[in-house]
Amino acid sequence: DAGVTQSPTHLIKTRGQQVTLRCSPKSGHDTVSWYQQALGQGPQFIFQYYEEEERQRGNFPDRFSGHQFPNYSSELNVNALLLGDSALYLCASSPGWGYRGEQYFGPGTRLTVT
């Protein structure tokens, strides 16, 4: 049973550029959440996708957007990158709308903005 996978593992971008991160959920899960984790901090919720729509959003600007595909995989897009966007980006999956139980996380993508 494949767990949550993310790509790429590491990424280096320049300020002002755009980046796309990818996530495949755990088998049987249809809901994908994205988190940002700055160095030394706990993960912060960005948004959640279910049935190809953004359903919930944390306190992040519109520069952060996403997409979910019919196979439940998801992308996180960040435009106009800032130095402060440097972080570990985590994807988590869970089963079903309204389920607030355990989430399963991927290994993360380490984004460095220079």
- 46 forms part of the interface with other proteins (CB under 8 A): yes
26: which DSSP letter?
A: P
- The β-bridge relationship of strands 19-24 and 74-78 is antiparallel
Residue 24 contacts other proteins per CB under 8 A:
no
Does the protein bind other proteins through residue 110 (CB under 8 A)? yes
70 binds other proteins (CB under 8 A): no
**Of these, 8, 15, 99, 112, which contacts other proteins (CB under 8 A)?**
99
Q: Which is nearer to other proteins, 67 or 110 (CB)?
A: 110
106 binds other proteins (CB under 8 A): yes
Look-up: residue for tokens 């755009």? 18
Give 25's DSSP letter: P
**In the complex, what is the shortest distance from the CB of residue 108 to other proteins, in angstroms, rounded to a whole number?**
5
Token digits of residue 9 = 């593992």
Spatial distance between the Cα atoms of 57 and 15, rounded to a whole number of angstroms: 24
- Within its chain, how far is the Cα of 44 from the centroid? 10
Bridge pairing between strands 87-94 and 74-78: unpaired
Residue 22 CB, nearest distance to other proteins (Å)?
Answer: 15
Positions in the binding site for other proteins (CB under 8 A): 4, 31, 33, 35, 42-48, 50, 55-56, 58, 88, 90, 92, 94, 97-108, 110
